[in-house]
A and B are shown apart, each in its own frame.
Chain A
Amino acid sequence: MAEPAAMSWRNPWVRGSVAVLIALTIAAMLVGFLWLPSAQADFSAQGLWASICRAAGVPSSWAPATDAARDARPVSTEVVLERSMARDGDKDAIGRGATLALNCTMCHGAHGMSGSDAPNLAGQYPEVVIKQMHDYKSGKRASPIMEQISKALSDRGIADLAAYYAYLPKARTAPTTYDETLPALVRVGDPMRNIAPCISCHGGVDQKFGTPWLEGMPSSYLVVQLQAFASGARRNDSQAQMRNMARAMTPLEIQELAAFYARKASEGERRP
């Protein structure tokens, strides 16, 4: 069997197959790029070439977007989370952070374990501290105390603080098994109310980037934050993910969740 002969243009199979394939492709393209777009008024409003480009997937804005229009939209946070924020800080950064943290001990405790119902920061993920501090600084999250303190800190100061607190041992490790003794909202959420399980983001099943570690947090802090999300008083969650969760919860459920995460808060466990 001589392959060159099989691949020669003199071979009617080659001529026929290639011609049919080309005809089929052209016909499909004519329908997909010309005929179907012409049936959609908005698709073809800017002329033939623009409609072909759209059919090909060239990105374009359907309405002229000016900066003014963009600025008018409410912005929940100006922090863009980047994975570089999650890297472990070096020793120098942790040391500088420890020095800066002396200013935080009044509320957040000498070792990041609060005795005054402020959130525990020990073992908190660094990107969480970085995001919240920047949100306080830009006024996207409200607190008379934290807004003032954050304004005094540079970007590097915030990163160092985050590195220091991430270095400290966590308040509690997550439970290793999830059974019916845990509140249902923690384990499985409530699909029909669009409430995702807490453990799918806050650790347990998975920890989503930028989501805080909650185990061992003071109960009253969690209640106040969930109520603030539910009422819309707090809205620095970039995709409204927490506002949507908290709005669907009853006051009793909020109490139950807060009590679960605050149970048996210890003085600090070893880092897992």
Chain B
Amino acid sequence: MLHARKLVLAHFWVAFVAFLGAIVLGAWQMYIRSPLSTWINNPEHYYRSVTAHGTVMAYVLPTLVAMGFGYAISELALKRPLVGLRWAWAGFGLVIGGTVLAAGAMAAGKASVLYTFYPPMIASPIYYFGVVLVVVGSWIWVALMSINLHAWRRENPGATVPLAMYGNLAGAYLWAWTSVGAAVEVLVLILPASLGLTDTINAGLARVLFSWTLHAIVYFWLMPAYIAFYTLFPRAIGGRLYSDTMGRVAFALFLVFSMPIGIHHLFADPQVGAGFKFVHAAMTAMVSIPTLLTVFTIVASAEIAGRLRGGRGTFGWIRALPWDRPMMLAVTFSFLMLGLGGAGGLVNMSYQLNETVHNTQWVTGHFHLIFGGAIVIMYFMVAYELWPQLARSAPLPAAWIRLQLWLWFIGMLVLSLPWHWVGLLGQPRRMAYFDYRHPALEPQAWTVTMSTFGGLILAVSAVLFVVILARAHRKPAEPAAFTFGAAAHPGLRPPFALNGFALWIAMMIGLSVVNYGYPIVQLALLKEASVPVIPIGSR
């Protein structure tokens, strides 16, 4: 069935091997700064590791998963071979080449700028070339997704785009527009400085441009998970999707609102006006709406499944759900982590509350819980669901998968809940070591030890994940045909606007111009915003 089988498999394998390496680095980082270890003698090694962990987890893993899953959706949902298979391999090659370049620069200690770049710190140009290649490779994917949808539309005029493909394209268009910010930052501001063409950099503008990418990128990470909620979960638990239209509304709202809100990452930055900070905070609150819609729709879909399985009463359907199925477990864990992390996120985005947690360990806890927890656990499920198709194998062992999911869920809570707690107490993030002898810090030392064990559990879970996938290759079998979840009312036509993207893309661009136009132009014209660059690892 899958013509692009090897392509998708290559994306997933590279993503998961890189993920495994990065998780070992993450676990080491937690150990080395805990009371279990002596202080690291060369703190630069810690920041080198943070840079590598962040670059892989934030750029390489989600980009490759979104690309691989996107190609698979294109074939499975549109039921036609992928157009532009060679281009897709070329895009994959660019991502790999970029990853290798960036990894080389990081390993050599020439790029310990953390994955958020932070000008005026400047790394070796090789690192930035690597990142640019990864992004350009992913733009090929964006173009191919769009081309495939148009090819399908020509063959099926007037037909409703399958929900999985609709979400896939929403993620692709979102990524295309949001990556422009970091691309402009790297190409116009950072690379000239890194290549030695300029001695100063407009750090304020660079940070604003990065915020353009920084927040919406998390919704790009999140799209594969949401597509799995809407199109894989209902079928996997033997139910129906409560509302196909609600899924489209959620994807469209993400497209409009996830982009022009990034300045909530700059609440402590003096170069941005308080008025824009408030507008971005208000718009950030809007992205909770598609998430709440999704939680409602998916829980309603689970209720359909529970009642179909004989559940009765107000809560009886919950007991009737197929709890032994990995997908049921994964979505439950995902929602629990989404709920906790989302509540923490509301604190981050509030202009006033943010002051309490800004740049503390709370922030690290928040995005590990949301991304590493709620989203990555769904990446696992996407891989598990597709693997029989990709590896032409028998269904994967459910008991092992359940163990892996439990370990991931427990590990993530053990890791990130202590971070939230000490973040409230004021522990700064990104520290290579803490002086636990100090009477004020000594009572908090146990939290770092606890997070170390959380990291260890996560590393075990990640190894298990890769082992389960690898072992499947040894058990070849002809897989059953792949299907996406059906809606409760199949054949219901969504409104015109929710079968296309033109309206939502226009609103996304319009709102971006309104929310970012003035701060960008003003900072670009401000001479005082340029500061001397600080090359890292150059001497």
Binding site for B on A (CB under 8 A): 1, 3, 5-7, 11, 13-14, 17-18, 21, 24-25, 28-29, 31-33, 36-37, 43, 52, 54-59, 81-84, 125, 177-180, 182, 187-188, 190-192, 197, 199-200, 203-209
A52 touches B532 (CB 8 A): no
0/1 per residue, B266-280, Cβ < 8 Å to A? 000001111111110
Provide the bound-state CA to CA distance between A20 and B290, in Å.
16
The answer, among B256, B497, B519, for a CB contact under 8 Å with A21, is: B256
B434 interfacial contact with A, CB 8 Å: yes
A37 touches B274 (CB 8 A): yes
The answer, among A11, A58, A84, A188, for a CB contact under 8 Å with B522, is: A58
B421 interfacial contact with A, CB 8 Å: no
Provide the bound-state CA to CA distance between A228 and B274, in Å.
43
Question: A190 and B435 in contact (CB under 8 A), knowing A3-B500, A84-B199?
Answer: yes
A17 touches B507 (CB 8 A): yes
Question: A83 and B532 in contact (CB under 8 A), knowing A56-B273, A56-B276, A191-B434?
Answer: yes
B41 touches A83 (CB 8 A): no
Provide the bound-state CA to CA distance between A191 and B158, in Å.
66
B159 touches A1 (CB 8 A): yes
B519 touches A1 (CB 8 A): no
Question: A187 and B199 in contact (CB under 8 A), knowing A29-B275, A37-B275?
Answer: no
Residues on B with C-beta less than 8 A from A182 are 41
Question: A52 and B497 in contact (CB under 8 A), knowing A1-B153, A83-B532, A178-B42?
Answer: no
Provide the bound-state CA to CA distance between A200 and B432, in Å.
12
Measured CB to CB, the closest approach of chain B to A21, in angstroms, equals 6
B283 interfacial contact with A, CB 8 Å: yes
The 7 closest A-B pairs by CB, nearest first: A57-B273, A55-B275, A32-B278, A13-B497, A83-B199, A28-B282, A207-B539
Question: A187 and B278 in contact (CB under 8 A), knowing A1-B157, A55-B273, A57-B272?
Answer: no
Binding site for A on B (CB under 8 A): 38-44, 153, 157-159, 161, 199, 256, 271-279, 282-283, 286, 431, 433-435, 438, 441, 495-500, 502-503, 506-507, 510-511, 514-515, 518-519, 522, 526, 528, 532-534, 536-539
Known: A56-B275, A206-B539. 4 other contacts (CB 8 A): A3-B502, A11-B497, A24-B283, A207-B538
Residues on A with C-beta less than 8 A from B256 are 21
B273 touches A54 (CB 8 A): yes
Provide the bound-state CA to CA distance between A82 and B531, in Å.
10
A188 touches B532 (CB 8 A): no
Residues on A with C-beta less than 8 A from B44 are 205-206
Residues on A with C-beta less than 8 A from B533 are 83
A57 touches B271 (CB 8 A): yes
Measured CB to CB, the closest approach of chain B to A195, in angstroms, equals 11
Provide the bound-state CA to CA distance between A56 and B521, in Å.
12
B273 touches A58 (CB 8 A): yes
Smallest CB-CB separation from A189: which chain B residue? B43
Question: A197 and B511 in contact (CB under 8 A), knowing A13-B503, A28-B282?
Answer: no
5 A–B contact pairs at CB < 8 A?
A: A54-B274, A59-B528, A83-B533, A204-B42, A205-B44
B495 touches A28 (CB 8 A): no
Smallest CB-CB separation from B208: which chain A residue? A57
The answer, among B43, B161, B433, B507, for a CB contact under 8 Å with A18, is: B507
B39 touches A188 (CB 8 A): yes
Residues on B with C-beta less than 8 A from A5 are 496
Residues on A with C-beta less than 8 A from B282 are 24, 28, 31-32
Question: A82 and B435 in contact (CB under 8 A), knowing A3-B500, A5-B496?
Answer: no
Question: A36 and B278 in contact (CB under 8 A), knowing A21-B256, A56-B518, A58-B522?
Answer: yes
The answer, among A18, A25, A36, A206, for a CB contact under 8 Å with B537, is: A206
Measured CB to CB, the closest approach of chain A to B202, in angstroms, equals 14
Provide the bound-state CA to CA distance between A59 and B161, in Å.
49
Provide the bound-state CA to CA distance between A244 and B499, in Å.
63
A81 touches B532 (CB 8 A): yes
Residues on A with C-beta less than 8 A from B159 are 1
B275 touches A205 (CB 8 A): no
Residues on B with C-beta less than 8 A from A59 are 526, 528
Residues on B with C-beta less than 8 A from A52 are 275
Residues on B with C-beta less than 8 A from A14 are 497, 503
Question: A33 and B438 in contact (CB under 8 A), knowing A6-B503, A191-B433?
Answer: no
Provide the bound-state CA to CA distance between A191 and B503, in Å.
53
Provide the bound-state CA to CA distance between A82 and B282, in Å.
41
Residues on B with C-beta less than 8 A from A25 are 279, 511, 514-515
Provide the bound-state CA to CA distance between A241 and B536, in Å.
19
Measured CB to CB, the closest approach of chain A to B440, in angstroms, equals 8
Residues on B with C-beta less than 8 A from A36 are 274-275, 278
Smallest CB-CB separation from B440: which chain A residue? A192
B276 touches A57 (CB 8 A): yes
The answer, among A55, A58, A192, A208, for a CB contact under 8 Å with B438, is: A192
Question: A24 and B276 in contact (CB under 8 A), knowing A7-B502, A190-B435?
Answer: no
The answer, among A29, A55, A82, for a CB contact under 8 Å with B199, is: A82
The answer, among A32, A33, A206, for a CB contact under 8 Å with B536, is: A206
Smallest CB-CB separation from A56: which chain B residue? B273
Provide the bound-state CA to CA distance between A28 and B316, in Å.
43
Provide the bound-state CA to CA distance between A32 and B281, in Å.
10
Residues on B with C-beta less than 8 A from A199 are 42
Residues on A with C-beta less than 8 A from B441 are 192
B500 touches A1 (CB 8 A): yes
Residues on A with C-beta less than 8 A from B433 are 188, 191
Residues on B with C-beta less than 8 A from A83 are 199, 532-533
Provide the bound-state CA to CA distance between A52 and B538, in Å.
43
A209 touches B534 (CB 8 A): yes
Provide the bound-state CA to CA distance between A187 and B41, in Å.
6
Smallest CB-CB separation from B269: which chain A residue? A57
A13 touches B278 (CB 8 A): no
B507 touches A21 (CB 8 A): yes
The answer, among B43, B153, B431, for a CB contact under 8 Å with A200, is: B43
A187 touches B500 (CB 8 A): no
Provide the bound-state CA to CA distance between A192 and B40, in Å.
16
Residues on A with C-beta less than 8 A from B495 are 13
Smallest CB-CB separation from A178: which chain B residue? B41
Provide the bound-state CA to CA distance between A6 and B493, in Å.
14
Measured CB to CB, the closest approach of chain B to A81, in angstroms, equals 7
Smallest CB-CB separation from A7: which chain B residue? B502
Provide the bound-state CA to CA distance between A180 and B39, in Å.
10
Provide the bound-state CA to CA distance between A55 and B159, in Å.
48
Smallest CB-CB separation from A84: which chain B residue? B199
A6 touches B497 (CB 8 A): yes
Provide the bound-state CA to CA distance between A54 and B434, in Å.
39
Provide the bound-state CA to CA distance between A3 and B499, in Å.
9
Residues on A with C-beta less than 8 A from B278 are 28, 31-32, 36, 55
Provide the bound-state CA to CA distance between A5 and B496, in Å.
8
Smallest CB-CB separation from A203: which chain B residue? B539
A1 touches B43 (CB 8 A): no
Provide the bound-state CA to CA distance between A5 and B502, in Å.
11
Provide the bound-state CA to CA distance between A204 and B438, in Å.
27
Smallest CB-CB separation from A272: which chain B residue? B539
Provide the bound-state CA to CA distance between A206 and B514, in Å.
41
